[in-house]
Amino acid sequence: MSRKNTTVVLTILLAAFVVFFASSCKKLSPDRLKSNYHFNKANSLFSDAKYRDAIEEYEAALKYNPELSEAYRYLGESYKNLYKPGVDSPDNMEKAEKALEALKKAYEIDPKNREIIHSLGNMYDMMRNLEEAEYYYLKILDLEPTNMDNYYVVAGFYKRYAAENEELKNKAEQMYLRRIELDPESPKGYSYIAQYYGEMAPIPDFDRAFEYHSRQAEFEPDNTLILYTMGVNRFSKAYRLQNVLSLQERRKLADESEAYLKKSIDIDPTYSYSYAFLNLLYRNVFALVYPERQARYIAEADAWQERFNDVRKKELDRQRLEEELKKGEIK
């Protein structure tokens, strides 16, 4: 290597050393060490749900290191945990403002931090400031458009207000459908939208929920829980809409419910709740739509209840044994 090249290399190495040394010194400076001390102490208090004490320590950490984004984040989280949604007292609203102030400062320092963005959306959500909450929840999608779980975060936000806001109800539905369009081979997407329709208030959309559970079952035909859910769906529609549906419609729903619940038992006879709903089906639907066979169906309901009791007892015994084994492993 020529003397000239050697000089250039040495100059670069010296510059890198100076930067590294300066950076290391900064981290080891008294202010940084004090900040870290208060930050770690604050985190311990936060973990113990001692939020007021944690606030003092996070503020002390920020006094020595004003650029510590995580301190701002958890300072905001501390105030958020002290905030009581729906209470408009001056003290409570002050906590809300301080939570937002700290979280926004954390966001300024680290604008690509998903957790900080989500926390801001959640804080506005708690305050029922839907416009600002939506703004931050949608930012999560902008930040990670390929993360499928983010669509559930946004859809869940819309879902919470669907019963009282038709626009947000439509947005929730569209967000679930958008999730399916992005990954149509995932049964998870069909499960979430089916749950959305099944939990609609005041009356679930039983048929739309059943439609998407059926599509989910195409991917997982031997999934006991899906078959059980489909059986419960058909039972619930027949039972809850008994004053609206015709006798023939209720009989058809009862037959479908029975078929799905029995199929779930064929696949997994240890799942107790399938037996429980067969009891309810025979007692509360079959016995009513076939009044001439009422005594027979009540007797069959009793038999399904006994089978539920037996299987459930075995389930609980197995769970206790597993817990005991886990405790033994820990020791």
Averaged over 39-60, what is the pLDDT? 96
Return the pLDDT at 28.
59
Residue 321: how many other CB atoms lie within 10 Å: 10
What's the CA gap between 308 and 314, in Å, rounded?
A: 10
Q: Is the pLDDT of residue 330 over 80?
A: no
pLDDT digit string, tens, across residues 205-244:
999 999 999 999 999 999 999 999 999 999 999 999 999 9
Peptide bond into 291 cis (omega under 30): no
Number of neighbours of residue 298 by Cβ within 10 angstroms: 14
State both tokens at 96. Answer: 């809300």
Could you read off the pLDDT of 113-160 as tens digits, one per residue?
Answer: 999 999 999 999 999 999 999 999 999 999 999 999 999 999 999 999
Tokens (6 digits) for 101 = 């102030």
Q: How many CB atoms lie within 10 A of CB 47?
A: 9
pLDDT attached to residue 329: 59
**For residue 15, is pLDDT > 70?**
no
Q: pTM for this structure?
A: 0.77
Nearest by Cα to 119 from 175, 76, 160: 76
In Å, what is the CA distance from 299 to each residue of 36, 286, 290, 296? 69, 12, 14, 5
Over residues 244-288, the pLDDT tens digits come to 999 999 999 999 999 999 999 999 999 999 999 999 999 999 999
**What are the tens digits of pLDDT across the range 53-70?**
999 999 999 999 999 999
Look-up: residue for tokens 């708690």?
126
Q: What is the mean pLDDT of the chain?
A: 90
Residue 10: the pLDDT is: 36
